[in-house]
Amino acid sequence: MNFVLVTAGGIGSRMHMEIPKQFLNVYDKPIIIYTLEAFQKHPNIDGIGVICLEGWQDILNAYIKQFGITKVKWIVKGGATGQESIRNGLNRLAEDCDENDIVLVHDGNRPLVTQETISDCIIKCHQYGSAVTIVPCTTSVLQKSKMEDRESNIALDRDMLAMTQTPHAFPFKKLWWAHQEAEKHGISNSVASHALLIELGETVHFSLGNETNIKITNTNDLKIFKALLTSGNERDLP
C-alpha cells in the first residue's frame, strides 16, 4: 500500500502573518486543502496522514470534513523540527503500516503537486527503493565559504546539480530505520528525509518533478500560486 505524510507543522514566520501559511485561504480554500486534494484524487494513494501544528488540529479536521478529504486517516502533532515531526508521523503509521508499504513525505505548502509527479515518485520508489522528486538546476550557482559571506570565487556546474522538491518516497522500514539511526547518532535536525538518508550513507534515486510544484514560503510565492491557479497552467484541480 502507499501512504503519504503531509507536513503542516510550520508556523510560517516568513509570511509575517498570524495564520500559519498552510491555513491561509486562497480563493475560499486553505492551501493545505489544495495539497490534500492532490493525494485524495490519486488512485494509488491509500491513506493520508497530516502532521499538524499544535493547536490547529481541530481546525484542520473541520476543513477535511468540509472539503470531503476522505483518505485522511491520521492527524499527528508536529514536533520542534521537521525531522521530529516526520518521526511523530512514522510513530503513528507504525500502528497500521506494513514494513514494505511505501511512505511518501510531502510539504503541505506545495499545493500544486501533479498527479504525474506523485505517480513517478511511487513508481521509482518501487523500482529503486527510494525516490526524491527533482527538477534540473537552470540557474548559475555560486558557493560561499561561510553563511555570512558576501562574495564567492567558486561557480558550481549547474548541470551536475539537482533541485529537490517533494514528495520523497521510501519503504516504511527504510524511513523508520533512518529515524532510529538518527537518534543513535545524534542527528536531530536534518533538513529533509532524503538528506537524512544521505547523512546515514545511503544513496537516493530521482523521480521527475515539475517547475510549478512550488513551495509557498513567503508572500511572493503566494502571488505566484494565485497566478498559476488563474492562468490555466496549474495541475488539474478537482
Q: What is the pLDDT of residues 15-47, one digit of tens each?
A: 556 788 899 999 999 999 999 999 999 999 999
Cα 166 → chain centroid: 4
Percentages of the chain per state (helix, strand, coil), in multiples of 5: 40, 20, 40
Q: Which of 202, 200, 194 is nearest to 180 (CA)?
A: 200
Checking 221-224 for CB contacts under 8 A at 24+ apart, the result is: 222/15, 222/21, 222/24, 222/26
> What rounded mean pLDDT belongs to the chain?
91
CA distances for 50 relative to 7, 27, 30, 77, 85, angstroms = 6, 22, 14, 9, 10
Percentage of the chain beyond pLDDT 70 is: 94
pLDDT value at position 236?
45
DSSP type of residue 201: T
Question: In a 10 Å sphere around its CB, with 0-12 CB exposed, 13-18 middle and 19+ buried, how is residue 27 labelled?
Answer: exposed
CA distance 125 to 166: 13
202's grid cell: 545511503
* 54-95 tens-digit pLDDT: 889 999 999 999 999 999 999 999 888 889 999 999 999 999
Q: What is the CATH number of domain 2-231?
A: 3.90.550.10
CA distance 213 to 116: 11
- pTM comes to 0.92
Where along the chain do its domains lie?
Answer: 2-231
Question: In a 10 Å sphere around its CB, with 0-12 CB exposed, 13-18 middle and 19+ buried, how is residue 51 labelled?
Answer: buried
CA distance 57 to 16: 21
CA distances for 46 relative to 1, 11, 73, 119, 167, angstroms = 6, 28, 10, 13, 15
Give the DSSP H or E segment for 102: strand 102-107
Confidence of residue 155 (pLDDT cuts 50, 70, 90): very high
97's grid cell: 503500516
Contact 124, 137 (CB under 8 A): no
**In which residue are the cell numbers 516504511 written?**
172
**10 has a pLDDT exceeding 90:** no
pLDDT value at position 133?
98
